[in-house]
């Protein structure tokens, strides 16, 4: 599976069922190992919207499905 295929999937928190956003990038260390994925969250308030980036690690990913990536993270992280 490629990073571009992962970027097309919605990311959902299995604790509360909320959609967290979509993967926009990955951060790697100097040896090329992926440290974490960067998730873009979009927030809409009336006429304004803004984007916020958060991260998830491999340990937080519980299942990668055909259309969705399920992650387990505490609700106060997002």
- pLDDT in the model for residue 39: 92
- pLDDT in the model for residue 50: 59
Q: Domain locations in the chain?
A: 3-77
One digit per residue, pLDDT tens: the chain, 78 residues?
888 899 999 999 999 999 998 999 999 999 999 999 999 876 655 556 556 788 999 899 999 999 999 999 885 544
* CB distance 62 to 71 below 8 Å: yes
* CB distance 9 to 63 below 8 Å: no
- pLDDT in the model for residue 16: 92
Copy the structure tokens of residue 58: 């491999």
The architecture (CATH level 2) of 3-77 comes to Roll (2.30)
* CB distance 52 to 38 below 8 Å: no
- pLDDT in the model for residue 41: 79
- pLDDT in the model for residue 78: 47
């Amino acid at each position: 599976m490629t990073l571009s295929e992962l970027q097309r999937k919605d990311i959902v928190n299995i604790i509360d069922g909320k959609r967290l956003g979509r993967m926009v990038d990955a951060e790697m260390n100097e040896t090329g190992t992926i440290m974490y994925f960067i998730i873009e969250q979009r927030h809409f308030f009336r006429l304004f919207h803004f984007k916020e980036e958060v991260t998830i690690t491999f340990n937080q990913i519980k299942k990668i499905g055909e259309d969705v990536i399920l992650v387990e993270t505490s609700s106060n992280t997002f």
